[in-house]
Amino acid sequence: MRILELNNEPITEILSETLGDGGKREFRTIEVLQGIVDYLPEEIDALVCTSDLQGMEVKKYSDENKDRRLLGIAIANELKELTDCGLLPPKEKFGVIFCGDFHFEEDFSSRGGFGEVDEVWLAFKNISKWVVGVAGNHDKFSLNENGEYSISEEKDIFLLDRKTQIIDGLNFSGISGLIGNSQKPWRTQEEQYLAALKSMLLKKPEVVLLHEPPKIGGMKGNQKIGDVIVKSSQSLVICGHSFWENPLLNLDNGSQVLNVNSRVVILLNKQ
Ligand SMILES: [Fe+2]
């Protein structure tokens, strides 16, 4: 799959409240961008890609009586409105791609932390046909009595970690979390991580999902991940974790890297 164009002019913007550098409360705009891809199967007309929605919604006057929701849940609701007004296909005609990090401490005590994000995944599933994604380093998932992720029991929700999933004929491969040796959640040792990435890319999936971005072309990310992508055959990699001013990188080997940190990117099928 290739992104043929990405319009940097947002179709809409959603205001959020979050913590900035230094832990200061600040307002931040989440842009919804639209792009065109060369191919989607006939089962779907769009893919909605997002990650790193770490913040709280900013209450509208009309919502005064409602509790403030996590940003991801509020955005799922806003996207439903885009469907209602025809800017997004009906829910049975689009899939959602997650690149992780939807947790935020609701009392604004810290920007990081580690907390449950099942509700965000379910909110997006409610407005779409399916959700496929990787976990971010701040994402916790509730467990069932067998110690497995409850979210993985949900129909049409696919959490990937060094795993491949075919949905509507599209092959998605994903690695959750970050490269790291620590005992912190969602860390994979460098050797294992890079071996998994190489073997995924060899199989030429339509989309590779990573939480950790590659460092390529001066963009913030991991150098080793960048080296693997540059040396592999053509691919479309979608990632998050670090914010990129310019979300789309076109590489010399024909590969593309789309970073959806603090953005929503709607990819529509070529007409
Ligand atoms: Fe992250």
Distance 90 CA to ligand 1 centre (A): 30
User: What CATH number should be reported for the domain holding residue 230?
Assistant: 3.60.21
- Digit-coded pLDDT (tens) for 74-105: 999 999 999 999 999 999 999 999 999 999 99
- Point out which residues pair with 208 in neighbouring strands: 173, 237
Average pLDDT over residues 143-161: 96
Q: What is the pLDDT of residues 30-40, one digit of tens each?
A: 999 999 999 99
Question: What is the distance in A from the centroid of ligand 1 to the CA of 135?
Answer: 9
The structure's pTM equals 0.96
In the reported structure, the alpha carbon of residue 95 is separated from the centroid of ligand 1 by a whole-number distance in angstroms of 22
To the nearest whole number, what is the mean pLDDT of the chain?
94
Residue 234 has pLDDT above 90, yes or no: yes
Residue 145: helix, strand or coil by DSSP?
A: coil
In the reported structure, the alpha carbon of residue 102 is separated from the centroid of ligand 1 by a whole-number distance in angstroms of: 9
228 band by pLDDT with thresholds 50, 70 and 90 = very high
Report how many domains make up the chain.
Answer: 1
Identify the pLDDT of residue 110: 86
Q: Average pLDDT of 256-260?
A: 98
Count of C-beta atoms within a 10 Å radius of residue 65: 6
Tens digit of pLDDT for each residue in 2-31? 999 999 999 999 999 999 888 899 999 999
Q: Which residues surround ligand 1, an ion (CB under 5 A)?
A: 101, 136-137, 241
Mean pLDDT of 212-218: 94
Ligand 1 centroid–CA 139 distance in Å is 9
Q: How far away, in angstroms, is 183 Cα from ligand 1 center?
A: 16
Q: Is the pLDDT of residue 64 over 80?
A: no
Report pLDDT for 81.
Answer: 92
How many Å lie between the centroid of ligand 1 and the Cα of residue 65? 32
Which long-range contacts does 214-222 make (Cβ < 8 Å, 24+ apart)?
Answer: 214/239, 214/257, 216/249, 216/251, 216/257, 217/249, 217/251, 219/244, 219/246, 219/249, 219/257, 219/259, 220/244, 222/178, 222/179
Would you state the pLDDT for residue 80? 92
Q: Is the pLDDT of residue 268 over 60?
A: yes
For residue 92, report the distance from its CA to the centre of ligand 1, in Å. Answer: 30
Whether residue 151 contacts residue 118, with contact meaning beta carbons closer than 8 Å, is answered with yes
Cα 271 to ligand 1 centre (Å): 35
As a whole number of angstroms, the distance between CA 237 and CA 255 comes to 8
Ligand 1 centroid distance, CA of 211 (Å): 7
Residue 249 sits in which domain range?
A: 3-269
63: confidence class by pLDDT, cuts 50, 70, 90: low
Question: Residue 254 C-alpha to ligand 1 middle, in angstroms?
Answer: 26
CA of 212 to the centre of ligand 1 (A): 7
CA–CA distance, 26 with 35 (Å, rounded to integer): 29
For the chain, first and last CA: distance in Å? 15
Instruction: Look at residue 198 and tell me whether its pLDDT is greater than 70.
Output: yes
pLDDT-derived band of residue 65, with 50, 70 and 90 as boundaries? low
Q: Cα(52) to centroid of ligand 1, in Å? A: 7
- From CA 168, how far away is CA 130, in angstroms rounded? 10
Q: How far is the CA of 187 from the centre of ligand 1 (A)?
A: 11
